[in-house]
Amino acid sequence: MKIDASISMPSDRKGQTVKIGDLVMIPAVVTEIRPNDEFLNVTVDTLEPMHPAPHKTAIILNAHQVEVVHPSVSILVVKERDAKPGDPIN
């Protein structure tokens, strides 16, 4: 595969180059648990908007595709995301 030199390499939110084979994390909060007869899905709300559709943040995944990083912090994370600059964080 030939790479066009005029196209810059993709980078993550910290500016690190993203390459094929990299293990990445999408910061998200579980907002819904969706069981059915065959498997268990979860809906997650990404902390960063999905471009080019910044109003979309929900992704539905099989629960086996996710790994709990910080149990039960979703309430605090949502409060911080909705806070305005200067608001106190409890």
Per-10-residue mean pLDDT, the chain, length 90: 64 88 89 89 88 84 87 53 58
61 part of a folded domain: yes
Global pTM reads 0.59
Phi, psi of 76 (to 5 degrees): -65, -45
Residues 6+ apart with CB under 8 A from 65: none
CA 45 to chain centre: 7
48 part of a folded domain: yes
70 part of a folded domain: yes
11 part of a folded domain: no
8 part of a folded domain: no
Q: State the DSSP code for 53.
A: B
Number of domains in the chain: 1
Residue 13 confidence (pLDDT)? 82
5 part of a folded domain: no
Residue 9 confidence (pLDDT)? 80
Host domain of residue 35: 28-82
